[in-house]
Structure 1
Amino acid sequence: MADDSTVTIRASFSTREAADLAVEHLVQQQGISRRDIFVQSATDENTSGSMASGGDASHDEGTRDDGALEGDIEVSVDITAGQIAAVQGILEDVGAIRVSKG
């Protein structure tokens, strides 16, 4: 009998770009509903990550400094126990700094 209990997986990313990529991969590769995926600051500060990326990193005059780079971005996802290994693999493949279950 398959284990269909719900588990929450959390992953931290240093850029919003990597967090967004994680969401897209979870939806497209695992068929997880977007309503089961949550993106937020990993700290109490408003942040777009701890490192510049995308438009912040490729500005004509160098790296922009007007974005809040106050900490990592956390992606959490509610999945069935049978999806744990695949989801952890996806999160690690797209650049998660830390992945935890709980």
Structure 2
Amino acid sequence: MSDESVKTIKGTFATRAAADQAIEHLTQEYGLNRADIFVQAVGSANTSGTQPNGSDAPSVRDDAPRTDGALQGEIEVSADLSSEKFSAAMQAFKEAGARHLDAG
């Protein structure tokens, strides 16, 4: 973006649940517009993260690990935001468990 008052932040997450938590914090707590937040797989493969979570996790009745989850890589969340909201967004990403942060 050419507007110097707008920055982009990117973070990667091990699970879709963690990525969703970051999005929830950004929109509900810090007032970012959902249209300014983007989610995608880090690589070219379809993925739900790198770790089992939620429906990917073993059942309490069955200890066998599931093998049908698309655990092909991390999930990237990025957001375009004003400079004033940048530090709050960094905090939201960290609280949600971002593994890598890029503040471009």
Tell me the amino acid that sits aligned with residue 5 of structure 2: S
| Aligned residues of 1:26 and 1:87 also touching (Cα < 8 A) | yes
Residue 8 of structure 1, CA deviation: 0.6
Aligned to 2:99: 97
Residue 41 of structure 1, CA deviation: 0.2
Residue 42 of structure 1, CA deviation: 0.9
Tell me the amino acid that sits aligned with residue 79 of structure 1: L
Aligned to 1:40: 40
TM value normalised by structure 1: 0.90
SS where residue 44 of structure 1 aligns? Answer: coil
How many corresponding residue pairs? 99
List gaps (5 residues or longer) in structure 1.
Answer: none
RMSD after superposition: 1.3
| Aligned residues of 1:52 and 1:63 also touching (Cα < 8 A) | no
Identity of aligned residues (%): 43
Residues 61-80 of structure 1: matches in 2 within 5 Å? 61=62, 62-80=64-82
SS where residue 47 of structure 2 aligns? Answer: coil
Aligned mates of 1:93, 1:16 — CA distance in 2: 15
Tell me the amino acid that sits aligned with residue 27 of structure 1: T
Runs of 4+ in 1 over 4 A off after TM superposition: none
List gaps (5 residues or longer) in structure 2.
Answer: none
Aligned mates of 2:65, 2:12 — CA distance in 1: 22
Aligned to 1:57: 57
TM value normalised by structure 2: 0.89
Tell me the amino acid that sits aligned with residue 44 of structure 1: S
Aligned mates of 1:58, 1:24 — CA distance in 2: 26
1:48-97 superposed Cα distances (whole Å, 9 cap, x missing partner): 00111011114242432101101000000010011111100110011000
73-82 or 63-72, larger mean C-alpha shift: 63-72
